[in-house]
Structure 1
Amino acid sequence: MNSCILMAEIIEDPQLRSTPDGSKVANVMVEFEGLRDEDPKARVRVVGWGNLAEEIENSYHRGDRIIIEGRLAMNLVEMPEGYKEKRAELVASRIYTVGTAAASSDSWNEPNPSSAAVESDNYSTNDFSATPEPTMPSSNSDESNYEDLDEIPF
């Protein structure tokens, strides 16, 4: 299954265009932190189609912080120098607002309970405060004695 959830900051304003058959598509570049402090920030293009494309273009701007749900795709791009390069692209199915350009650049804001969860097929409101906290299932196995998943011996 190809599923990806990414928390990122928009670094370029979205661009909306139409395909020859009239379908709407929006592209937006986002940037996200590396796994370690010394890792550089990484960038990926996010693509939205249909209603989601229009919502991306109308609602999101450079500096906004978002959570993107979607699938990862790899594209082969012909470079002007004559070689081909593979580039990752995140095809969005839902986008959630986390913060705006006015937020501190050092830390992410808590998700806004009134922020809209924009889906590719329809619109719905997502109340983050109603999301239950994940819990570890209790069992008699040795795994239940570990507080941190990194400590579980495999």
Structure 2
Amino acid sequence: MNKVILVGRLAQDPEVKYTQSGKAVSTFSLAVSRRLGQGQEATDFIPIVSWEKLAEICGNNLNKGRRILVEGRLQIRSYEAQDGQKRRVAEVIAQNIEFLDSKQQGQQRGEQAPPPPNQDAQCNHADGFGFGPSIPEEDIPF
């Protein structure tokens, strides 16, 4: 099974383009925090690709700083760079995207400096969407 679920913040505004056949495709990076141990964290920037209607939704509704959940599959593809070298790239092909904050919250966050890694996991308040309090990652049993 090839299934990826990520929660993070957009590192930049989505870029929407159209193929020659007219299909919309959007690309953006998702900043995802991970624990290194001993209280240290790192942030990975994961390339995300969405197609057709989902790509248009991303282009129209997402901006830098928005917190989202991406569900999709991992794809690794090869291509030949302009210098003739073979390159490989790993990216997540989004099949579902859920907005985890309001557009205003994302715009405010996008105008400010990036948050410290995993800031939301330290909060213990309702998220405004009826999902209850945030749970620190170390308390999740899997």
Q: Which residue of 2 aligns with 1:102?
A: 108
> Aligned to 1:105, what secondary structure does the other structure show?
coil
CA RMSD in angstroms comes to 2.7
For structure 1, the 5+ residue unaligned runs are 114-126, 130-147
Richer in helix (by share)? 2
Normalising by structure 2, report the TM-score.
0.70
- Given candidates 89, 92, 114, the residue that maps to 2:91 is 89
> Aligned to 2:65, what secondary structure does the other structure show?
coil
By how many angstroms is 1:76 displaced?
Answer: 1.5
Between Structure 1 and Structure 2, whose CA radius of gyration is higher? 1
- Between the aligned residues of both structures, percent identity stands at 25
Q: Which residue of 2 aligns with 1:16?
A: 16
Q: Which has the higher contact order (CA 8 A, sep 6+)?
A: 2
Q: d(CA) in 1 for partners of 2:31 and 2:44?
A: 6
Q: d(CA) in 1 for partners of 2:22 and 2:50?
A: 14
1:79–1:98 CA distance, 2 compared to 1 (3 A): same
- Given candidates 73, 76, 86, the residue that maps to 1:74 is 76
Normalising by structure 1, report the TM-score.
0.65
For structure 2, the 5+ residue unaligned runs are 133-139
Matched length:
120
Give the alignment of 1:111-122 within 5 angstroms: 111-113=127-129
1:22–1:70 CA distance, 2 compared to 1 (3 A): same
> Aligned to 2:100, what secondary structure does the other structure show?
strand
1:88–1:111 CA distance, 2 compared to 1 (3 A): farther
Give the alignment of 1:115-130 within 5 angstroms: 128=131
